Structure 1
Amino acid sequence: MSKDYPIPAGYLERETEVKKSRFIARVYPVSDRDDVRTYVDQAHLDYPDARHVCWGYQIGRPGSAAEAAMNDDGEPSGTAGKPILGVIQHKDMGDVLVIVIRYFGGIKLGAGGLVRAYAGAAESVLSAVDRVVQQARVQATVQFGFADEQPLRHWCDGHEGRIDAISYTTRVTASVSLPVAQQQDFSAFCESQKMDYRFET
């Protein structure tokens, strides 16, 4: 079971300039690698003539992220993705992607200058973005008859629940994610519907 943690409230873009190089920083809330790919592809489409599109992200709770990665996109190794990810980790924020698009301005910045510029761009957008709290959630596995699928979906719609997976054999098995605060309500609902359920620990 995860604990509450802050995530970006939405998309934001900020631009900084260092020695005539433009650094366009974008922040997005992300929940998986597909989100990351989508937004990085979008940055390439939006700025097709940019020299570099660098990024860093972490998914999950800060300090024990389930997944994190970075990309220098042609900049010297460790001068772009690493400082971006370093700022993300310092900000104590989860489920976050920062992309920094660079237009070269004709003046070389050197490795130290690049590190400072990419970290500064990431800092500018992460400091400005609003935060929301990602509520702690718990996973449950539920088994029930075919007639009970609609009531379960209805309960989820009204209680911030989410059906992550569902399979059909002689009975229906669903994997449900719900806020920890709704756990007792969910137990009561399953018992009233005579569904078999268990919470993942």
Structure 2
Amino acid sequence: MRPLAENHCTVCSQTLREPGAACWNRICGWTPEKRRFTRVDAVALYAYPLEQTIRKFKYDGVAGWGVIFGRLIVGWLKAHEDEVRDIDLIIGNPTARDRAPLQHVETMMQAAYAEDALGQWPIADPASPVLTKLRETGKSASSAATWQDKMDAAREHVSVLHLRRSVAGKRILLVDDVFTTGAQFHTVGTFLTTQGRAKEVRGLVLGRTPSRS
């Protein structure tokens, strides 16, 4: 896998040209109160070979990759133990039950939960999900999608989320497969901190899309 650049944005993990350079991602210029998530870390860049394996998993239904991705999540937690020590709850950004070919986020979170056999990390038990998605919604993964396209899709996504357990006062680590603009982390973070009254939302993804520049 391609590691993150030594110089990367502390909010979205994007590669920066030089230390202290401004990140091109517009959401990083928002205040944390407006953004509704503190930061999103990434295991690696969304590039070969990680990109190809995520696509096989997510779009072709090669479910075996979920076990590997679950291990990557737990491995990242172990490697960054000091940074996540205060996290109260780790949950996936949910997909709908009818998502085809599989519920990819739930699959890798089930694997992460199983990998953490000793319960070292506060990964939500997949048998009792905290956050669910009631139905499938539109997508904006196309490279041609605009910021507004992605924000509209993110708002539709959050409109069908259902909170099944209280997250009031908790610091949450929200896990997903890929981070591009942060639109979904913003809308889901808003949902969790306003309706759910969570104290803080941070993010962790398998891959961070590289800069377009």
Radius of gyration: which is bigger? 1
- More strand per residue: 1 or 2? 1
TM value normalised by structure 1? 0.30
TM value normalised by structure 2? 0.28
Which of 1 and 2 has higher RCO (CA within 8 Å, sep 6+)? Answer: 2
